[in-house]
Amino acid sequence: MRFSLRRESQHLVRQALFLPEASDYIASSATESLSLAQPVSTSPFVLGLQSQARKARMAINVGIHEPAERGARLKNTLIWIDDQGNIAQKYSKLHLFDVDLKDGPRLKESESVEAGSFILPPFPTALGNVGLLICFDLRFPEASLSLRRQGASLITYPSAFTVPTGKAHWSPLLRSRAIETQTYVVAAAQVGQHNDKRVSYGHSMAISPWGEVLAELDGTWGGEPELAFFDFDASLVEKVRREVPLLRRTDVYPQV
C-alpha cells in the first residue's frame, strides 16, 4: 500500500511517497527476519529506492529492517529519502509490539528488535515539518504531542497492524492523534497475508488536522500495489491551530 502526498506552491507541485512499515520484508520468524536484515548503506532495496527518488525528484518515506549495533538483534527503522536520493533522516521505533491475543497472533517484537532511544525532532521538507513515528507508537500520544510541540505539521505512522487490533482501534487512534496534535497524519499500511503466521489489516489512511479522513484504501489485497492521493495544505494547519487553540496546563501536568 502506498501513499503519494502532493503540495501545490503556485505552479510547482511537490510530491512525496509514503510506504509502510517493514516494506523490505515480513518474515515468518525472528530468526528469518534477522537473517534477512541488511545495513541501510548496502541494502539493494534501499539503494533502489534512492535511485528512484533521485530519478523522480520525489522524497520517499519507507520502513525497513537493519541490523542493530549491539548483539543479535535488528532495528525497526523508518528512513526519509530526499528528492536527491539521499537518506536525510532515520528513526528507530520506540514502542515495540509485544502481544499474545486469544485466538489471534502472538507477536513478541522485543525478542528480536532493539527499541529506539529517542524521539527524532521534526525536520523541514518541501512539504512542511515532518515527524516520524511507527505503527505501535500510535498508541502513545506523548510521542506525537512532543513532535507537535517541536513544530511538526505532518506525522507518519507506517504500519503492519494486526487484523483484530486494526478493526478495533486503527481509525479511532489515527484520527485522535491528528485531532489532538492538529497535524496531518499519514499512515501507509501493510495489507493481506504475508505468510502462514502474519496477516496485516491494511486501510492506509491520510487524515487532516481537523480529523477528516482525506484518503483511505479499503483493506483488501488484489495482488497489485495501490496508490492513494491527498493534498497537503499548510494553511489548514495554521487555521485549525488558530481557531481551536490548545493551551496546555503545563503548570498542572508536565510538558512532553
Q: Report residue 87 as a C-alpha cell.
A: 537518506
Terminal CA-CA length for the chain: 32
Residue 46 phi, psi (nearest 5): -70, -45
* Closest-CA residue to 124 (of 157, 77, 89, 91): 89
Contact 186, 154 (CB under 8 A): yes
Annotated catalytic residue: which of 66, 75, 93, 216? 93
Residue from 66, 109, 135, 216 carrying the catalytic annotation? 135
Cα angle, residue 217 at apex, residues 145 and 23 outer, rounded to 5°: 70
Contact 138, 173 (CB under 8 A): yes
Q: How far apart are CA 87 and CA 91, in angstroms?
A: 11
Return the axis-axis angle of helices 141-149 and 163-181, rounded to nearest 10°: 30
DSSP 26-41: --SSHHHHHHH---TT
Catalytic residue among 21, 66, 114, 216, which? 21
135 in active site: yes
The SS3 call for residue 89 is strand
Distance between CA atoms of 213 and 229, rounded to whole angstroms? 12
Element (H, E) at 143: helix 141-149
Supply the residues annotated as catalytic: 21, 93, 135
